[in-house]
Structure 1
Amino acid sequence: MGVNFEDLKVMVIDDSKTIRRTAETLLNKVGCTVITATDGFDALAKIADTRPDIIFVDIMMPRLDGYQTCALIKNNNEFKSTPVIMLSSKDGLFDKAKGRIVGSDQYLTKPFSKNELLGAIENHVGEKALA
């Protein structure tokens, strides 16, 4: 069963304008509503207002990194069931393990492809839609 991307709100948190723009373009094409944030603080302020269905977060960010941002989302009762996908330019086992410890649901290595991005959404939001 495919996911109806048109009803989805996807948040992309990355300090790289290029990554935000790339993700936004790909996701807009399939009909998602995209909320972008430049760092963890920016994201946390927007999550409460926008209530995204799924969140992509870059690991390496200034001020509040992806691990801290993910931990804060997962420690909040209201948002802990929101899938959080880590984005990293390093494909390290340590990073993946650390991502799991803070509660992330999946790990994508940058640069990600359109299929990887949409596949991650289908994996996590598809399950939620059926639950």
Structure 2
Amino acid sequence: MLENKLRRFSCRYEKILVVDDSPTDLANIKGILGEAGCVIVTATNGKEAIEKASAEKPDLIFMDIIMPDMDGYAACRSLGNQAETKSIPVIFVTSKSQKADRLWAQMQGGKGFITKPYTADAITDQLKAFL
């Protein structure tokens, strides 16, 4: 059933940047987005996310919060302060689940919030919201 649902959903975005330091979560989200027909670029920390976003100009970013070198909050703030990346929506995908975490994510410029463990539907629903 889920495979049929993903096949019917067509990702109109040229590129999606997925940022997570967990190889498992990175692979899972890439798989979900790949099934939806998206072109995927990856990064494993906030600094790399900023570099990839500036170079690749993705249409949407799925980003973890807790990462080494630079967390997702700081990366989102930085992306929002740069002219070439400020219009790219950032969807946080995180194990942080408190109401305060959601509010802080929104205050940093996040446009969406998905709590781990996530479902494929949660990821594709965010895609649909920004299409």
With the length of structure 1 as denominator, give the TM-score of the two structures. Answer: 0.89
The answer (yes or no) to whether the contact 1:6–1:33 under 8 Å persists in 2 is no
- Within 5 Å, give how 1:65-80 maps onto structure 2: 65-80=71-86
* Secondary structure at 1:47 match in 2: helix
The one-letter amino acid of 2:69's match is R
Correspondence 1:108 to 2:111: no
How many angstroms apart in 1 are the aligned matches of 2:54 and 2:84? 9
Q: In the alignment, which residue of structure 1 is the partner of 2:3?
A: none
Correspondence 1:88 to 2:94: yes
Correspondence 1:59 to 2:65: yes
Root-mean-square deviation (CA, aligned residues, Å) is 1.5
How many angstroms apart in 2 are the aligned matches of 1:66 and 1:98? 11
- Within 5 Å, give how 1:4-19 maps onto structure 2: 4-5=10-11, 7-19=13-25
Q: What are structure 2's unaligned runs of at least 5 residues?
A: 1-7
Runs of 4+ in 1 over 4 A off after TM superposition: none
Match of 2:45 among 32, 39, 45: 39
What displacement does 1:13 show? 0.5
How many angstroms apart in 1 are the aligned matches of 2:71 and 2:40? 21
- Within 5 Å, give how 1:22-37 maps onto structure 2: 22-37=28-43
Q: 1:74 to 1:41 in 2, by over 3 A?
A: same
* Secondary structure at 1:35 match in 2: strand
